[in-house]
Amino acid sequence: MEKNWILIANGERARCFERAPDHALTELTDFVFPRASLSGQAGGGDLTGAAGKGHGRTGHAGTQFEPHTGAQDKAHGSFARQLADYLNNAVATQRCSALVLIASNQMLGELKPCLSIAAQKAVKRSLASDLTQFTGPELKKRVDQALTLPSR
């Protein structure tokens, strides 16, 4: 019997479900973005590492600096890798045979490259939608609706 898993995620939270043949959803795990570790790091007026031009003696020209990657962007990438590791392991240990990814655009973009080749092959659908705020019958209804939409 095929074990279908559905990952519902955005940049702050992810929930993984197993979908039964009758379409019932059983929550397997819940991931929460470690927001507390970023407190005090976001915002501010600190321009160190900001993208721009370095100025030589004349003040006109210089070299390009690498674009600044903020702490929050790095943490979101780490969160995506954590989710991918969980899915990669599930596919490798045959706890899951088919994956559906329903996530925000940004999370899909960060998550997909982190998936192993086997996990990529297990992905049956990926949809850009944020369903993380829904629970119970409303979540089931929205997942069912999302899965009936034509693939893009």
* Residue 40 pLDDT grade (very low, low, confident, very high; cuts 50, 70, 90): very low
Q: Among residues 19, 23, 22, which one has the least CA distance to residue 99?
A: 19
Please name each of the domains of the chain with its CATH number.
1-29+70-152 (3.30.420.60)
Closest CA to 104 of 76, 124, 82, 123: 76
| C-alpha triplet 123, 97, 80: angle, nearest 5° | 50
> pLDDT tier at 73 (50, 70, 90 boundaries)?
low
Range 97-117 average pLDDT: 96
Whether 124 shows a pLDDT value over 70: the answer reads yes
What pLDDT does residue 36 have?
Answer: 45
Query: Residue 63 has which token pair?
Result: 């070299």
CA atoms of 66 and 103, how far apart (whole Å): 29
Q: Given this model, what pLDDT does residue 33 score?
A: 83
pLDDT of 62 > 60? The answer is no
- pLDDT bin (cut points 50, 70, 90) of residue 37 is very low
